[in-house]
Amino acid sequence: MDDPQSRVALVKTSDRKEGVRASIQALDVNPVQGKHVLIKPNFNTADAAPGSTHNDTLTALVDELWAMGARSIRLGERSFPVTQEVMEEKGVLPLLAERDVEVIDFDLLETKDWVATDAEGSHWQNGFRVARPILEAECLVSTCCLKTHQFGGVFTLSLKLHVGVVPTTRHGFDYMRELHSSPHQRRMIAEINAPFKPDLVVLDGIDAFVDGGPMFGRRMRGDVFLASTDRVAVDAVGVALLKLLGSNEAIMNRPIFAQEQIVRAIELGLGASAPDRIELVAANEASREETDRVAEILGQG
């Protein structure tokens, strides 16, 4: 019997609060009710969205998760510069405190809380480590941006977001040097995702980088939000959105399901294995035309 389809909800909007609310509600599932929730945002740097998660998206997401019945909410992150400094520059700490969200700075984790793990058929030399709060989260919610990646990743959506759960040299490990110097970088990005599974993924595509990225790049308005419980499906639809906007050669000249991040994620069983395994749904009537356009591109594989 075929695997069940993964639903991805699409909202055409320029309002981040509406994008968060409508995309999640269109999924018609609630993985949050009664759970201890951990949010993984995109705080690689403090650059303006889509360089990092927009503060309005983050606060709207927190408010929605509380409304959905979350038992508690924490946010965990490891940034590229010092994480505390990134959060301070973004101004998120008082916003999170106002909303009773505990912040877990992965920079402050002890060595024992960077847990050694790996993926089947790994391209990592000796496996990799993942922040313990990610592995032990009762409910993991990831929120990513819509953008390309100029340093070898090709795109940085839901799968690439989770590079931030792996330590850097300032934690005593040299994984980032290994990742960025490897010809298998895109496969290794997917492999980071093997030891855990987000329960909900929300993508903010109001602003997009269609070239460059992840910190800065050629900016276009996407005016769209996505939500799903399947990170591979989010990435496939996200690449379709980049194609619709008109992106660089690495996006435009390769089929979606031939992108190495997606190919490897499918090999590992992390999500939707083909376009017909994704149910792309318009969250409302105003989103239907955009949804149909994206679905047509997605259907080409």
Give residue 1's pLDDT.
38
pLDDT tens for each residue of 202-230: 999 999 999 999 999 999 999 999 999 99
Buried b (16+ CB within 10 A) or exposed e, 18-53: ebbbbbbbbbeeebbeebebbbbbbbbbbbebbbbb
Give residue 2's pLDDT.
55
Give residue 301's pLDDT.
81
Closest alpha carbon to 31 in 182, 162, 200: 200
Identify the segments of the chain with pLDDT beneath 50.
1
Query: What is the rounded distance in angstroms from the CA atom of residue 279 to the CA atom of residue 54?
Result: 27
For residue 300, the SS3 value is coil
For residue 91, the SS3 value is coil
Alpha carbon of residue 100 to chain centroid: 23
Q: Tell me the whole-structure pTM to 2 decimals.
A: 0.97
Query: What is the rounded distance in angstroms from the CA atom of residue 205 to the CA atom of residue 202?
Result: 10
Give residue 4's pLDDT.
81
Query: What is the rounded distance in angstroms from the CA atom of residue 165 to the CA atom of residue 130?
Result: 6
pLDDT tens for each residue of 84-120: 999 999 999 999 999 999 999 999 999 999 999 999 9
